[in-house]
Amino acid sequence: MSKHGGVNHVLVDFPTEVLLRLLGPFATHTTVVRHRPEPLAGATRTVGTDRLDDALDGADLVVLALALTPATTGIIDARRLDLLSPGTWLVNVARGAHVVTDDLVDALTRGTIGGAGLDVTDPEPLPDGHPLWDLPNCIITPHVGNTPEMGVPLLAAHITENVRRFVSGEPLVGLVDVGAGY
């Protein structure tokens, strides 16, 4: 339990709609950290990236799911890991380079955070004998979001929708923001 009552989650620049709906029944206090901090349905609060340190303080769970850019490389380092409490878990489903691996190994070994769930690592693949493989408070899963049988129909539906929108003169979905780097 967090100092705010309930479980306190921090989602860093995550396309949060689905996860927020899944967390809804659990009465979590969820802070979303985004480049553009507009309020999101289901989030307790949404803050800009300039308030990331404040959001990490008191978090029980931190989920990283953001684009890898020069500004987000190493966003979770020793200083930010030290902001977390001994019971906090860090989950990274984005890119391994968001987390400074040596700093994470140190925090997990010393018990300054509760644990880590890693769908991605840096380096990737994680070599045999790397300390993360042997830490009891670290879970490593393969970074496989969809099988081809699942992914191809989803991608086809997305393309079909954008072609329909283009022909109708509607805004397209899932556009790349070259200026932001993703």
| Assigned token pair, 65 | 């799911």
| Assigned token pair, 150 | 């699942």
Catalytic annotation present for 124: yes
CA 86-71-76 angle, 5° bins: 10
The CA–CA distances, whole Å, from 162 to 5, 171, 174, 179 equal: 43, 8, 9, 21
Identify the active-site residue in 4, 17, 124, 164: 124
Identify the active-site residue in 35, 45, 51, 143: 143
| Assigned token pair, 179 | 């200026």
Identify the active-site residue in 9, 34, 80, 95: 95
At 89, give phi and psi (nearest 5°). -110, 140
| Assigned token pair, 60 | 């029980």
User: Active-site positions?
Assistant: 95, 124, 143
